[in-house]
Amino acid sequence: MDKNTWIGFALIAAIIIGFSLLNRPSKEELERRQHYQDSVRYAQQLERETQQAIAEAQAELAANPADTVHATASLQEVYGAFAPAAIGNEEMSVLENDLLRLHIARKGGNIAKAELKNYKSYGDSINPLALFDADETQLDFTLITANNRILHTEQLFFEPQPVSMDTLGNKVLRMRLKTTSDAYLDFIYTLPENDYMVGMSIQNHGMQQVLAQNINYLEMQWNQLVPQHEKGRKFEERYTTLQYMFTDRDVEKLAEAKNDSKNVTGKLRWIGYKDQFFSTVFIADDAFTSTQLTSNVMPAKSGYIKQYQTKASVSFDPSGNNTTDFRIYLGPNHYNTLKAYDKGKDKEEKLNLKSLVPLGWKIVSWINMWLVIPMFDLFMSWGMNIGLVILLMTLVIKLIILPFTFSSYRSTAKMRVLKPQLDAINEKYPAEKMQERQQATMALYQRAGVSPMSGCLPMLFQFPVLMAMFWFFPTAIELRGQSFLWADDLSTYDAIFTWSMNIPLISWFFGNHISLFCLLMTITNILYTWLNMQTQATGNDPSAKVMKWMMYLMPIFFMYIFNDYAAGLSYYYFVSLLMTILQTYIFRWTIDDKKLLQQMEANAAKRSAKPKKSGFLARLEKLQREQQQYAREQAKRRK
């Protein structure tokens, strides 16, 4: 190696050593780290000792249930002031309104079961849909007692107080965690009428001598299994995810298709356990901090879609002067319902729960919010069948994009009537003279007043509308359970033929069924492709045949995609394609090729008297001239 290489290595080594020295932790920082690690180990040791003592006391109580004096002493030693809450029965208290029925357990004092009265699970037409049941959810707060015991609210028994009404007419249920003194801890649940939002407050009374005084926060752990509620599991999995919003209103989520976890350093306003059509959202009036989020995909045979877990810290006032307040949304992912919670609120107070309904990318979501959803709600308010609503929506959207569709067809017609002249150019200039062929083609386009891009641009304007419908139908809960013709539920696939045998590749990508609306959409799409190919001016281009077969393969490809999708979406595309075919025939009747060619020739004569090139053609010709000039210069250099 030469001298410069050695100097370079020396400089790199100096930089690395210097960086290491500069970033070496100070003595105080090392002491803080050691203190933190010691605190963690001490807390873990206390946790193990407490759990072991609890297990021994429960075993002793089970072995000698009549020895209440000795059992009480054992419980007192383990649970301290919370000994009265160590034993009890696992009864449920019910709090309900017209929309929700909540079962609140004595053990843990949390919501053990939430039922939505206006919804059913697929295949169960009798019982209300349960977002979760007692063995599918866990909500626990860690309590550190004055004698350094670590207890969990999920292990303690609360005493329900009689349901009361507050000044606003809301139902209130207090679950009380008693102690050996007059001190107690309340979990207060508030349920308004006709609402999916439940208030929850943690309030303590006289707990200064019971709980550790140096604790101003509670550790919270919230676990939940998400049952499969819909017919199509694979499709439901695509929309089941854990979402969360920061206090600055930025919404993020964990991965849908795989196990995922994240340690969040910022403050969170809410955490949402979401499936395709329903969500359980925990909202902190203050914030969640030091949050750990986990999402695990469950096996199909389990009957569950996901398993969610949250570990977080929430503020807590041990003096009892301030409460720890939450709100819990237990309801459907209905756009207008979620949007209503932000009505009349300042920007800082808005929850942005409507983000639980995926409406697509920015411009696509705008179309959904300002056009599709209002139109859908208007037609639904007329009391029509959902199939007729989709038909009307398709008709209105077709009328909106009709000018773009007509412009695209007219551009295609212009290219079609120029086909004989294009064929003549291709015959005159073989492939070896590609530059001359391109110049002659551009000259023909210029004389005729045709731009090759004029047929594509109108389609670009239609594309966001088509994508808006693609995002809207699979997430529209209004389609759930709604029947039309042979489809008993437009929110899932409408199988007319199923099989149980696992066929490699086909079962994984296509599924073990055939959806009729999807099949009709595919047949109609092939018919439209055939009709469209008859009007294309392909000339003698050898790649035209390949492109033609590619166009016919696209409907088959879409059939593989949409076979698992909502029948409502396939029905919309089916009807839309039928209307497009009808439009094509109407355009054919209204546009005469001979008259169009005569008009183009007349316009060409006017332009020849006063030539004026379009911006696109001018730039294209300029690029060709530059290429030719570059080719000539290269040829001179070679000579």
Model pLDDT for residues 82-98, shown as the tens digit of each residue: 888 888 788 899 999 99
575 against 420, higher pLDDT: 575
Q: Check pLDDT > 50 for residue 146.
A: yes
Residues in the chain: 639
Amino acid at 44: Q
Q: What is the pLDDT of residue 171?
A: 94
Q: What is the pLDDT of residue 344?
A: 86
CA angle 268, 274, 277 (to 5 degrees): 140
- 574 confidence band (pLDDT: 50, 70, 90): very high
Q: At what angle do helices 419-428 and 434-448 cross, to 10 degrees?
A: 160
Q: Could you give the CA distance from residue 223 to residue 304 in angstroms, rounded to a whole number?
A: 14
560 against 297, higher pLDDT: 297
Q: Are 119 and 332 within 8 A, CB to CB? A: yes
- 56 confidence band (pLDDT: 50, 70, 90): low
**DSSP H or E run through 489:** none
Q: What is the pLDDT of residue 35?
A: 45
Q: Which of 328-332, 401-405, 513-517 has the lowest mean pLDDT?
A: 401-405
Residue 46, CA distances (Å) to 148, 149, 210, 297, 510 in order: 7, 7, 17, 33, 54
Q: Could you give the CA distance from residue 525 to residue 418 in angstroms, rounded to a whole number?
A: 27
Q: Could you give the CA distance from residue 509 to residue 229 in angstroms, rounded to a whole number?
A: 22
Mind listing the pLDDT tens digit for each residue in 525-537?
888 888 777 655 4
Mind listing the pLDDT tens digit for each residue in 555-566?
888 888 888 888
Q: Could you give the CA distance from residue 116 to residue 278 in angstroms, rounded to a whole number?
A: 10
Among 304, 339, 376, smallest CA distance to 121 is for 304
Average pLDDT over residues 443-450: 65
Which residues, in sequence order, are CB contacts of 10 under 8 Å at separation 6+? none
Overall pTM surpassing 0.85 (yes/no): no
Pairing outcome for strands 197-205 and 513-515: unpaired
Residue entry with tokens 């992912």:
333
Burial class (CB in 10 A: 0-12, 13-18, 19+), 639: exposed
Amino acid at 251: V
Q: Establish how many alpha carbons lie within 13 A of residue 366's alpha carbon, considering only the half-sphere containing its beta carbon.
A: 3
Q: At what angle do helices 434-448 and 593-609 cross, to 10 degrees?
A: 100
444 against 608, higher pLDDT: 444
Q: Establish how many alpha carbons lie within 13 A of residue 435's alpha carbon, considering only the half-sphere containing its beta carbon.
A: 12
Q: What is the pLDDT of residue 584?
A: 81
